[in-house]
Amino acid sequence: MDIQVGDVLTMKKPHPCGAHAFLVLRTGMDFRLRCISCGREFMVARVKAEKNIKSVDKTGRSE
């Protein structure tokens, strides 16, 4: 899966605040994501995140 910094991920399960959209801040063996709604940042393992992704929005990326 081609996920890069700046992409917006829509996940199957919501964040505790209720949002489904997350901004990718860092990639590697794990992702650093920021919740679009509340701004909370957290790390999640790549394998776990890739299973939970519903869609990837590349428009958030700044190239």
C-alpha dihedral (44, 47, 53, 58), degrees to nearest 10? 80
pLDDT of residue 12: 96
C-alpha span between 63 and 61 (Å, rounded):
6
pLDDT of residue 1: 79
pLDDT of residue 59: 74
Domain boundaries, the chain: 8-60
Q: Does the pLDDT value for residue 63 go beyond 60?
A: no
Q: Does the pLDDT value for residue 16 go beyond 90?
A: yes
- Considering the domain 8-60 in this protein, what is its CATH number? 2.30.30
